[in-house]
């Protein structure tokens, strides 16, 4: 192809008028390299996906090993496959006993769709309670959970009977009643700019859901898999959901989503009607094999044990007058500046300086950091020094 730039613009779907346009050649560890050999320190991990860095040798070996056995053989749920069983076994080791059944799909937003369907099927109710500033994906049902009218309006009408309440507002829990099928919450709100519930609030929410026979769904697509310093973010709060949703980092760099709940709930997808939820490629053996290996790597390399120290190092080094606030739990970090223009400038100039930062869809005055969990101390220092240099130029 003589003109790669024209080809990209003409034949590949554009998600914004201003893509980053790094021409990727390869990626290894915490770095992405372009066609000219320039290295970019990756401090966002493909938005919290590449939690083990790029090209981890055990992940590559798992891909090779499974590819030599078989790839897709049948739609999900019909054949018994070792890779799916192994992933389920590894997940069981990380979860409370009440979360013991898994439905593997292709992405986080697909898992959200499945969770909404299962909630309606189990409860026989239709009302859904979500939260202001929530982000759960951009498919039709997931978008319905967002309160961002700018993102919603062009695609309405969306799902009916969805209400939004404010995080940590105890009074608004009264909205949850006997007509509510489910309440869905990002355990740590991501697109809102890394916002946290209080333990008091989550305990009250759990109690209200129990009183009204409402299912409680935690979305840990972004905050799960060790990013916050626990395998699952809900462990910080000692509150267990009825349904847990994961994605992003779970796949070890491959595309996956996962709906997790108690088997007695999950079984209701298999009857009245049968095939109540189906997927062709969900539970793909190549993806499940890498996901299972990724869980083993997190444990074997003790990555979660090192998160607190790395998080502290980021906070210690990112001391600058231009930074208004740092919100973080583990390596899920939002850096708030004075205004949106400064965020735009630092993210774009970061590319010129060989560092990948990224913004939030709905929090324009903050930029995100979500580096690989195995990022080294040396790389953290390199990244923070570059950020400080950029801030000095503002």
What's the pLDDT at 3?
A: 66
Q: What is the mean pLDDT of residues 278-298?
A: 97
Q: What is the mean pLDDT of residues 46-71?
A: 98
Residue 355 has pLDDT above 90, yes or no: yes
Residue 2 has pLDDT above 60, yes or no: no
Residue 17 has pLDDT above 80, yes or no: yes
On whether both 130 and 86 belong to a single domain, the answer is yes
Residue 6 has pLDDT above 90, yes or no: no
On whether both 24 and 125 belong to a single domain, the answer is no
Report cis status (omega within 30 of 0) of the bond before 157.
yes
What's the pLDDT at 18?
A: 85
- Tell me which residue of 140, 31, 96, 69 sits closest to 238, measured CA to CA: 96
Calpha distance 222→328 (Å, rounded): 13
Residue 255 has pLDDT above 90, yes or no: yes
Indicate the residue among 300, 331, 357 that finishes a domain. Answer: 300
Give this prediction's pTM: 0.96
- Tell me which residue of 300, 328, 136, 357 sits closest to 227, measured CA to CA: 328
What's the pLDDT at 57?
A: 98
Here the CATH number for the domain that contains residue 119 is 3.40.640.10
Indicate the residue among 279, 300, 321 that finishes a domain. Answer: 300
On whether both 216 and 109 belong to a single domain, the answer is yes
What's the pLDDT at 288?
A: 98
On whether both 159 and 227 belong to a single domain, the answer is yes
* Each residue's pLDDT tens digit, 84-118: 999 999 999 999 999 999 999 999 999 999 999 99
On whether both 44 and 77 belong to a single domain, the answer is no
Residue 348 has pLDDT above 60, yes or no: yes
Domain of residue 43, residue span: 4-56+302-393
Confidence of residue 15 (pLDDT cuts 50, 70, 90): confident
On whether both 236 and 166 belong to a single domain, the answer is yes
CB contact set of 189 (below 8 Å; sequence gap of 6+): 131, 133, 134, 135, 167, 195, 196
Rounded mean pLDDT of the chain? 96
Element (H, E) at 42: strand 39-42
What's the pLDDT at 93?
A: 98
What's the pLDDT at 361?
A: 87
On whether both 49 and 180 belong to a single domain, the answer is no
On whether both 174 and 286 belong to a single domain, the answer is yes
Residue 155 has pLDDT above 70, yes or no: yes
What's the pLDDT at 285?
A: 98
On whether both 379 and 343 belong to a single domain, the answer is yes
Dihedral sign (CA 359, 224, 370, 290): negative
* Each residue's pLDDT tens digit, 126-152: 999 999 999 999 999 999 999 999 999
Choice among 1-10, 227-236, 265-274, 294-303 with the minimum mean pLDDT:
1-10
On whether both 91 and 228 belong to a single domain, the answer is yes
On whether both 283 and 378 belong to a single domain, the answer is no
Indicate the residue among 300, 316, 342 that finishes a domain. Answer: 300
CB contact set of 258 (below 8 Å; sequence gap of 6+): 91, 102, 103, 104, 105, 111, 245, 246, 247, 250
Confidence of residue 4 (pLDDT cuts 50, 70, 90): low
Domain count of the chain?
2
Here the CATH number for the domain that contains residue 330 is 3.90.1150.10
On whether both 379 and 268 belong to a single domain, the answer is no
């Amino acid at each position: 192809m003589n003109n790669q730039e024209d080809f990209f613009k003409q034949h590949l779907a554009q998600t914004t008028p201003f893509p980053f346009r790094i021409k990727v050649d390869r990626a290894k560890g915490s770095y992405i390299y372009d066609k000219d050999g320039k290295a970019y320190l990756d401090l966002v991990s493909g938005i919290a996906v590449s939690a083990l860095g790029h090209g981890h040798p055990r992940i590559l070996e798992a891909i090779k090993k499974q590819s030599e056995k078989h790839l897709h053989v049948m739609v999900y749920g019909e054949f018994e496959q070792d890779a799916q069983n192994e992933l389920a076994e590894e997940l069981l080791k990380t979860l409370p006993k009440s979360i013991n059944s898994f439905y593997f799909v292709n992405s986080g937003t697909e898992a959200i769709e499945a969770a909404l369907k299962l909630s309606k099927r189990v409860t026989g109710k239709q009302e859904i309670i979500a939260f202001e500033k929530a982000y759960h994906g951009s498919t039709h049902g997931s978008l319905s959970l967002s309160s961002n009218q700018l993102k919603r309006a062009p695609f309405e009408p969306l799902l009916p009977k969805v209400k939004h309440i404010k995080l940590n507002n105890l009074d608004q829990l009264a909205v949850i009643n006997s007509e509510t099928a489910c309440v869905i919450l990002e355990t740590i709100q991501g697109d809102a700019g890394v916002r946290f519930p209080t333990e008091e609030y989550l305990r009250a929410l759990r109690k209200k859901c129990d009183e009204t026979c409402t299912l409680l769904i935690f979305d840990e697509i972004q905050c799960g898999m060790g990013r916050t310093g626990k395998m699952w973010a809900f462990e910080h709060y000692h509150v267990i959901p009825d349904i847990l949703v994961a994605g992003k980092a779970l796949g070890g760099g491959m595309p996956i989503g996962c709906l997790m709940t108690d088997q007695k709930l999950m079984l209701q997808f298999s009857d009245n009607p049968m095939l109540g939820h189906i997927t062709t490629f969900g539970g793909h053996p190549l993806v499940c094999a890498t996901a299972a290996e990724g869980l083993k790597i997190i444990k074997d390399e003790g990555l979660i044990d090192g998160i607190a120290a790395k998080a502290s190092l980021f906070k210690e080094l990112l001391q600058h007058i231009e930074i208004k606030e740092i919100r973080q739990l583990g390596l899920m970090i939002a850096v708030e500046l004075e205004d949106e223009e400064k965020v735009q400038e630092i993210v774009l100039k970061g590319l010129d300086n060989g560092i990948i930062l990224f913004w939030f869809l709905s929090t324009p005055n903050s930029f995100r950091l979500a580096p690989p969990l195995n990022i080294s101390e040396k790389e953290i220092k390199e990244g923070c020094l570059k950020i400080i240099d950029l801030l000095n130029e503002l």
